[in-house]
Amino acid sequence: MKILGNLIWLLFGGLATAIEYFIASILLFVTIIGIPFGLQTLKIAELTLWPFGKDTRTTGQSSGCLTTIMNIVWILIGGIWISLTHILFGILLAITIIGIPFAKQHFKLAALALAPFGREVVNKN
């Protein structure tokens, strides 16, 4: 079921969104200051490419001062808008019964897009 969900996800916007995240991370890597943010954008791109069968969890460094500061900067720079976009698409997809699994993936992406520092993408088992 994960494979079918991922293929449908890719065909209906997942691939385009992942490419956008990859391009954004490359642009962030151009500057020294943007490298940590580029790494987080790559993390979101990975989850956007294959969201079914993956989940996010906090790491051991998630409660540190630097992680909190970086998440605040991330939110102020654009993380809130990315998160709100995923929430909007999640609400629109949740209206239909067929869209509920895809809405769940958008809500998972919204949580990661709001505060990516101190979180990692893992496979569900």
pTM for the predicted model, two decimal places: 0.85
Q: Which CA distances in Å does 102 have to 27, 52, 86, 98?
A: 28, 9, 11, 8
Alpha helices in the chain (DSSP H): 2-9, 15-29, 35-49, 65-74, 80-94, 100-114
**Per-residue confidence in pLDDT tens, the chain, 125 aa:** 788 988 988 888 888 888 989 998 999 999 888 899 999 999 899 899 899 989 888 887 667 788 888 889 989 988 899 899 999 999 998 999 999 999 999 999 999 999 899 888 888 87
- pLDDT tens per residue across span 34-60: 899 999 999 899 899 899 989 888 887
What's the number of domains the chain is made of?
A: 1
3-state secondary structure of 39: helix
Q: What residue numbers bound the domain in which 43 lies? A: 2-123
Judge whether 86 and 80 are in contact, CB under 8 Å: no
**Helices 15-29 + 35-49 axis angle, to 10:** 170
